[in-house]
Amino acid sequence: MHSPEHSTPVFDHLLLLLVIGLILFGLVMLSSASSPVGYKTFGDSYYFVKHQIFFGLIPGIFGLIFFLRLPYQRIKRHAFTMLLVSVGLLLLVFIPGIGSKFGTSHSWISVGGLFSIQPAEIVKLTFLFYLAAWLEKKSEFVPFLIALGAVLLLIMLQPDLGTTSIIAAMAFAVYFASGAPIMHLVVMGLAGFGGLGFLIAIAPYRAARFTTFLHPELDPQGIGYHINQALLAIGSGGFFGLGYGQSRQKFEYLPEVSGDSIFAVIAEEMGFVIAGLLVAAFAYLFWRGINIARRAPDAFGRYVAVGIVSWITLQAFINMGSMTSIMPMTGTTLPFVSYGGTSLAVTMSAIGVLLNISKASRKV
């Protein structure tokens, strides 16, 4: 029997098992949802799954192990440097020949023409590190707002309203958890709602999305096409689904089946019961993450833990809410499930940090 001082602290195994389950479930559902478009576009039904494994899962495993083994307190020494590097990556997306365009969005950097990375996903984690380190020092409010505003502006210029909203909400959640003055929170809240209103006002397609959210029956062949096809998929699934691989909407009726819309395919094939369990899984992830934050041995660890679970679960519920017309569509993906190598790798790395904090909390 080992003495307490020689015992090795263990991380939250249930959290790790939950994440592994979500990732494996995501790969299985991605294989089904993306097969028609993969075959039509690339001549390979498993194109998206292969890319998700090689450019998301494998780097993510390395990232998770690295951050699980690295004492998380060391991260804050380099938080500002990591933020500067990631902001530099955000600037690279606008440089011709380096930045890649998908639709109307300049959100990717092409790496040798082989694959692309999405800097905005990396910024979710690096900005969180900077924010947690800043809050621990209790520095001035105005420099923080300037840093936050600069990051959000660069992401919004891509344009990427979904990621902008998630980073802003994550910052608000962490700032609230730090016991920030009410007036600062009011200023952030008013600035956020004002900025959102301005962005909707200057972009007709955002205003149209908001109108469609209020009245999804309007223009079902135009701006309302996406949400109407998603609702049709979800409704077709019923309680127990049409069966794995039996989705009809994935055959070029439902846009973005491998990304934003994968939850609709899940509901169509697996039904309300499995879709409900998926919602419960993210709620359970949030609960375990908040418990880790409460037991964290220092302020930096507490703020980082709150930020990670706020970001992941908020993004998940925004995605699932938009597919069910509970929220306006913002183009956010479903963590661990939707196609996106950078997103999966960064999110798994964030889980590595969260597990590290859980391990440290058991030392005290």
Mean pLDDT for all residues in the chain = 86
Nearest-angstrom CA–CA distance, 281 and 272: 14
Cα distance between residue 304 and residue 309, in whole Å: 9
DSSP 3-state of 246: coil
Convert the pLDDT of each residue in 286-325 to its tens digit: 999 999 999 999 999 999 999 999 999 999 999 999 999 8
100-151 pLDDT, tens digit each:
766 556 677 877 666 778 888 999 999 999 999 988 887 677 777 788 888 8
Task: With cut-offs at 50, 70 and 90, classify the pLDDT of residue 162.
Answer: confident
Residue 185 pLDDT: 79
pLDDT at 89: 84
SS3 state of residue 34: coil
pLDDT at residue 5 is higher than 70: no
- For residues 200 and 130, the model is more confident at 130
- b/e map of 201-229 (b: 16 or more CB within 10 Å)? eeeeebebbebbbeebeeeeeebbebbbb
- Domain ranges (residues) in the chain: 8-361
Contact 58, 347 (CB under 8 A): no
pLDDT at position 3 over 70: no
Half-sphere exposure of 232 (CA within 13 A, CB side): 16
Determine the pLDDT at residue 2.
44
The sheet carrying 105-111 orders its strands as: 99-102, 105-111, 115-117
Q: pLDDT value at position 30?
A: 97
The pLDDT assigned to 272 comes to 95
Residue with the larger pLDDT of the pair 162 and 1: 162
Say what the pLDDT of residue 328 is: 80
Position 122 scores a pLDDT of 92
For residue 209, the model assigns a pLDDT of 64
Question: What is d(CA 230, CA 238) in angstroms, rounded to the nearest whole number?
Answer: 13
Q: Average pLDDT for residues 172-179, to the nearest whole number?
A: 88
CA 188 to chain centre: 21
CA–CA separation, 352 vs 251, rounded Å? 36
Q: What are phi and psi of 263, to 5 degrees?
A: -65, -35
Alpha carbons 89 and 91: distance in angstroms, whole number: 5
pTM of this prediction exceeds 0.75: yes
Residue 316, pLDDT score: 97
299 touches 306 (CB < 8 A):
no
Write down the pLDDT at residue 215. 60
Asked whether residue 1 carries a pLDDT value surpassing 70, the answer given is no
pLDDT digits (tens, 9 = 90+) for 26-77: 999 999 999 999 999 999 999 999 999 999 999 999 999 999 999 999 998 8
Q: What does the pLDDT look like over 260-279, one tens digit per residue?
A: 999 999 999 999 999 999 99
pLDDT of residue 329: 78
